[in-house]
Amino acid sequence: MAENKESFRDELSKLAEITNIIDESFLSKGDVSVIVELPKEEYDELMSHFRELDRQNNKCTIAISDINFNFVLKK
């Protein structure tokens, strides 16, 4: 289980790096949202890192700085 949490932290660090790149570009002048459609298996894996109540949603938003990473269940 610790390996999964460590891996998830690594993934959050990558999102933070993306945020830094966007913040340093012309995109920083606008509102930025990134939409990622995930197949059920990958979406469930992502949601396993959140509390049980949140796992029932078909959408998850991770906000870093002023950038929203929207993860949605692919239909």
Q: Considering the entire predicted model, what is its pTM?
A: 0.78
Tokens of 23: 């913040």
* pLDDT tens column, 8-41: 889 999 999 999 999 999 988 889 999 999 999 9
Query: What is the C-alpha separation between 45 and 13, in angstroms, rounded?
Result: 17
Residue spans per domain, the chain: 2-73
Residues 6+ apart with CB under 8 A from 35: 70, 72
| Among candidate residues 58, 63, 35, the one with its CA nearest the CA of residue 47 | 58
Tokens of 57: 């949603």
CA atoms within 13 A on the CB side of 26: 0
